[in-house]
Amino acid sequence: MTPPPRRVTQRDIARMAGVSQATVSLVLNNRTDADVRIAPETRDRVLQVIAETGYAADPAARRLASGFNRIIGVFTYEPAFPSGSRDFFHPFLLGIEEYAERVGCDLLLFTSAPVVDGRRRIFHQDNRLRLADGCILLGREIDGAELLRLNRDRFPYVAVGRRDDAGGPVPYVGADYASAVHRLAERALDLGHRRLTYVGMGTAAESSHDRRRGFHAGTAGAESARQITATALTADATVDDLRADGSTVVFVEDFATAVALESAARRSGLTVPGGLSVVTLGDPTVPVPTDITFTGFRIPREEMGRQAVEVLTGVIDGSAGGLQQRLLPCELVEGDTLGVPGSAVDRR
C-alpha cells in the first residue's frame, strides 16, 4: 500500500516562502503586533504558498493561539540523551516534536531538575514548570507524590505510559502491553507449549504490571505459568532453572536479558526455538547488538509522543472533554524465536 502523503506543516510553509515559522504563525493568526510588522509582499507570499499547498491549520493550534505562551514542557525522569538511553527515548521525542510543530508550539526540555535518591524530581527550589503551559512526563517509573502535587496544583500534564491514580486520575497515553502479551501467550499455547516462564525485572512500574497481567491472562490453560526475576540469576543459571522446570518458552520483559538468555541457551546445547523459545516484551531500552529477529512486539513510541501532545493541548485549552487515558496497540513481530516445542538438540 502507498503511504498517505505527509501533512504540510508551518515549517514547510516557512521554508517554501523563505520566511521564519514565526512569520507564518503571525500571518495565519492574522496578527499585526505593534513590534512585529510584516511587509505586505511577505504576507502575500506566505498566503500564496498556503493556497498552493492547501495547508489547513490544525484546530488545536487555533485554540492555543491566544491566552497561552504556546510552550510545552517535557520532563524526563531518566536522562534522555546519553548513548545508553537515546535509542529508547528518541522516538517519543520525535513524535512530541512533530505534533508540537503542527500546532505551532515550542518545546521546553526541563534539564535543571536535581537528582534526589538516584532520581530526578520535578519540584525543587528553582523549578521553572510555570514557564510552560503544560508538561509531558517521560519515564519508566514516575513519582506518585509528584503526580499527586500536579493534580492538586491543577497544572496541565500528560504522562507517557499508563499511570495509576495519584490522588486523582492521571491523564496518559500509553501502550497496551497487556493485550500484546496476552496474544503472544495464546500463540505459544497454540504451538503446543504447556510450561511457560515469565522473566521480569522486579520493578513496580505499571508497564511491568501490565505485561505480567497479560501473561497470566493468556496462559490460563497452561500446565504451568510461573514468574521469576532476572536479576536474581545469571543468564546461564536462568537457563539451568528453565530446564529443571521443564519450561519450553520464556517471556522476557527486558530485551537485553532476552539476548543473553538466547546465547546462554545455545551454549548449553539447546536450539532456539526448538529447545527453548524466547519471546521479548518490548523494544531495547539500551543498544544491544544482535542479528536475531526476536518474536515479540514493538511499542508505538512515536505515536505515543504525538498523541501525548494532542491530549495535552486539549487539557490546556479545556477542549479535552473529560479525562483522557489512551492505550495504543502494539505491533506484534513474528520473529524467529518462537516455535513448536520438542525439537531440541540437547548435547549435554
Query: Could you read off the pLDDT of 189-223 as tens digits, one per residue?
Result: 999 999 999 999 988 889 999 999 999 999 998 99
pLDDT given for residue 232 in this prediction: 72
Highest-pLDDT range among 43-47, 105-109, 249-253: 249-253
Which residues are bridge partners to 251 per DSSP? 198, 279
Check whether 112 has a pLDDT greater than 60: yes
Per residue, what are the HEC states of the chain?
Answer: CCCCCCCCCHHHHHHHHCCCHHHHHHHHCCCCCCCCCCCHHHHHHHHHHHHHHCCCCCHHHHHCCCCCCCEEEEEECCCCCCHHHHHHHHHHHHHHHHHHHHCCCEEEECCCCCEECCEECCCCCCCCHHHCCEEEEECCCCCHHHHHHHHHHCCCEEEECCCCCCCCCCCEEEECHHHHHHHHHHHHHHCCCCEEEEEECCCCCHHHHHHHHHHHHHCCCCCEEEEEEHHHCCHHHHHHHHHHHCCCEEEECCHHHHHHHHHHHHHCCCCCCCCCEEEECCCCCCCCCCCCCCEEEECCHHHHHHHHHHHHHHHHHCCCCCCCEEEECCEEECCCCCCCCCCCCCCC
- In the chain, CATH 3.40.50.2300 sits at 177-298
CA angle 84, 234, 196 (to 5 degrees): 100
Lowest average pLDDT, out of 70-84, 87-101, 171-185, 224-238, goes to: 70-84
pLDDT given for residue 83 in this prediction: 53
Domain 177-298 has CATH 1.25.10.10: no
Task: Report CA 40 to chain centroid distance, whole Å.
Answer: 44
pLDDT given for residue 32 in this prediction: 57
pLDDT given for residue 156 in this prediction: 94
CATH fold of 10-57: 434 Repressor (Amino-terminal Domain) (1.10.260)
93-107 tens-digit pLDDT: 999 999 998 888 899
Lowest average pLDDT, out of 35-39, 125-129, 321-325, goes to: 35-39
CB neighbour list of residue 179: distance below 8 Å, 6 or more residues apart = 214, 329, 330
Check whether 332 has a pLDDT greater than 90: yes
Mean pLDDT across 331-342: 95
Distance between CA atoms of 67 and 51, rounded to whole angstroms? 28
Query: Between residues 56 and 329, which one has the greater pLDDT?
Result: 329
pLDDT given for residue 4 in this prediction: 47
Distance between CA atoms of 118 and 107, rounded to whole angstroms? 26
What pTM was computed for the model?
0.79
Mean pLDDT across 175-189: 98
- In the chain, CATH 1.10.260.40 sits at 10-57
C-alpha cell at 68: 497561552
pLDDT given for residue 347 in this prediction: 35
Mean pLDDT of the chain: 86
Mean pLDDT across 257-271: 95
Check whether 64 has a pLDDT greater than 50: yes
Query: Between residues 72 and 24, which one has the greater pLDDT?
Result: 72
Check whether 303 has a pLDDT greater than 60: yes
CB neighbour list of residue 317: distance below 8 Å, 6 or more residues apart = 60, 63, 64, 68
Check whether 283 has a pLDDT greater than 80: yes
pLDDT given for residue 348 in this prediction: 34
pLDDT given for residue 115 in this prediction: 72
User: In which band, very low, low, confident or very high, does the pLDDT at 36 lie, cut at 50, 70 and 90?
Assistant: low
Distance between CA atoms of 156 and 8, rounded to whole angstroms? 28
Distance between CA atoms of 199 and 231, rounded to whole angstroms? 9
